[in-house]
Amino acid sequence: MANTHPIDRFLRALAGVCLLVLGFFWLSGAWQWAAYAASVVMLATAALRFCPLYRLLGISTRTAPTVPASPVRTGMAWAVLLATLVGGSYASAFASRKFFLEDFNAMNGYYKQTLFLTGKNEREKANAQYAQLVPALEGFASKYTRYQPYALRGDTQWLADLDRVRRMVGDVAGLVKTGDLQAAHLALEQVRPVFQDVFKRNGFSLLAVALVDFHDAMELILEAAQAKDMAKLAALYPGVSDKLAAVEAEAQDADIQAIRRNLDAVDAAARSQQTDALPALGEKLKSSFVKVYLQRG
């Protein structure tokens, strides 16, 4: 016997769809199966108009209908459920990919610095960066061994490649600390092609990786521009410019050139003490970046 109100049924169906998207895109292991199980329960009780728990507790949300069910309301309910499923899936695929790239770039920053400093034979600085690279890589590997974002879900080589990189980085510990730094540099060079192959076979563009890396640095420039902080802008510009150069190495079209012009305009305004122009120039920089990122990020 039915014991759920139409609104109750709709909320159950909506919760079921949300749990399905959550489990598929964001969870792994036992939590994923728990989300799937909860989704099935919500969707089934919505479809059957019956909640066993309500029966056990002796309650019901069902009321006698005073007017016939409206086809318009029913259609709107189905439209909301479909929009939640499709929109939630698209947004989750996009966001999980973006978060993966952000985590990768955070770890990869220490790798690039260690690689650079071993190449320059600067042992003390190389050791400092390597000491941060090891835990950053372990954290990254631990997270993405247990959970793969949708973009990596079908990659059967991912876990093997991740383990391979961990061994490569771990094997140079002695060389970085007290051994031959040039040998350490050459060994660390072998890490880059592994990740490049991962990105290529999973449809990531190296431009997208560079754009995410630039975005995080650009946000600091935007904050300084809004605050009209000349000293901070001067300190940040070289690093942000280098990250944009990595983007330019992958593509040099008109839209990316616009980002460069706008970044340099912020720097020029800061150098010439045009403080009042900085917030507007910062917004212009942000807009030019967003245009590129939405198309190719």
Looking at the fold, whether 197 and 102 belong to one and the same domain comes out as: yes
Tokens representing 58 are 């002796």
The H-assigned helical ranges of the chain are: 6-26, 29-48, 52-57, 71-119, 123-146, 158-171, 173-177, 181-189, 191-201, 206-227, 230-250, 254-271, 278-296
Instruction: Classify residue 70: in a domain, yes or no.
Output: no
**pLDDT at residue 48 in the model:** 92
Q: How many domains does the chain have?
A: 3
Sign of CA dihedral 241, 227, 290, 136: positive
Q: Does 155 fall in a domain?
A: yes
pLDDT tens for 227-263 read 999 999 999 999 999 999 989 988 888 999 999 999 9
Query: What are the tens digits of pLDDT across the range 184-194?
Result: 999 999 998 89
Judgement on whether residues 272 and 177 belong to the same structural domain of the protein: no
Measured between alpha carbons, how far is residue 105 from residues 87, 274, 282, 294 in Å? 27, 33, 23, 19
Domain assignment of residue 290, given as a range = 206-296
Binned at pLDDT 50, 70 and 90, residue 205 comes out as confident
Q: What's this model's pTM, rounded to 2 decimal places? A: 0.74
pLDDT-derived band at 64 (thresholds 50, 70, 90) equals low
The answer to whether 155 and 148 are in contact (CB under 8 A) is: yes
pLDDT at 6: 87
**Within this chain, do residues 223 and 143 fall inside the same structural domain, yes or no?**
no
Decide: helix, strand or coil at residue 150.
helix
Average pLDDT, the chain: 91
Among 54-63, 95-104, 169-178, the least confident range: 54-63
CATH of the domain at 167: 1.20.120
Instruction: State the pLDDT at residue 35.
Output: 98
Does position 45 have pLDDT exceeding 80, yes or no? yes
